[in-house]
Amino acid sequence: MLEMLKAAGKEGAFYMFRHMKPEADQEWADAATTFPGALYWMSGLPNASEGWGPMDPSKDMHRPSPIGIPPFADREDAETMIAGFQRDGFHGPLNIYRGMQPYFDQAKAFAGAKIRQPAFFAYGTADSMVKMRALNEEDLKPAAPNLQGFLPLEGVGHWPQLEASEAVNEALVAFLNKRKA
């Protein structure tokens, strides 16, 4: 994926490339601003025209949240995360982006492999990452022929487990209970 984006000249636009740079640690450093900002801007809360755009640096996730910690996030958990990031920084968490190309290189060995286990897929329809590529149940079936659940959550962004926790939990429990039967 990253090689295709580079070849298309998107290295300056796609957010993952910015997260790989050494200066990304400093861009995230003010955790009291950046963490709630990422939660808010990547969620389904902002107007779609203002929300996070993975290919649009002007719609960066580092913008301050206009409402602080979003209501879907547990305040105590969010404050604990902020304190941890303020103490330890973001270098470790950002390493996931720095290690992504080696991961993709190693994953090539599994190109075309099928997920044969029973699978369930939930996502937020307002997630800008999902909007980069049309997504529907039929698109997943060739790679996951035993797909037994597909849950698009309208108006939910990048954090469905937080933004629509009740719907996600209910659907997952039903999927798991069906597996036990």
CA distances from 100 to 7, 16, 123, 169, 179 (A): 17, 9, 22, 29, 33
Q: What is the pTM of this model?
A: 0.91
* pLDDT digit string, tens, across residues 152-178: 999 999 999 999 999 999 999 999 998
Q: How far apart are CA 137 and CA 141, in angstroms?
A: 7
* Residue 59 identity: K
pLDDT for 134 equals 73
pLDDT for 42 equals 98
* Residue 49 identity: S
Model confidence at 179: pLDDT above 80: no
Q: How far apart are CA 129 and CA 92, in angstroms?
A: 22
Residue from 134, 122, 160, 127 nearest 46 by CA = 127
* Residue 39 identity: L
* pLDDT digit string, tens, across residues 5-62: 999 999 999 999 999 999 999 999 999 999 999 999 999 999 999 999 999 999 999 9
Q: Which residue has the tokens 């490339």?
A: 17
* pLDDT digit string, tens, across residues 84-101: 999 999 999 999 999 999
Mean pLDDT of 128-154: 91
Strand, helix or coil for residue 122: strand
Q: Which residue has the tokens 């997504």?
A: 135
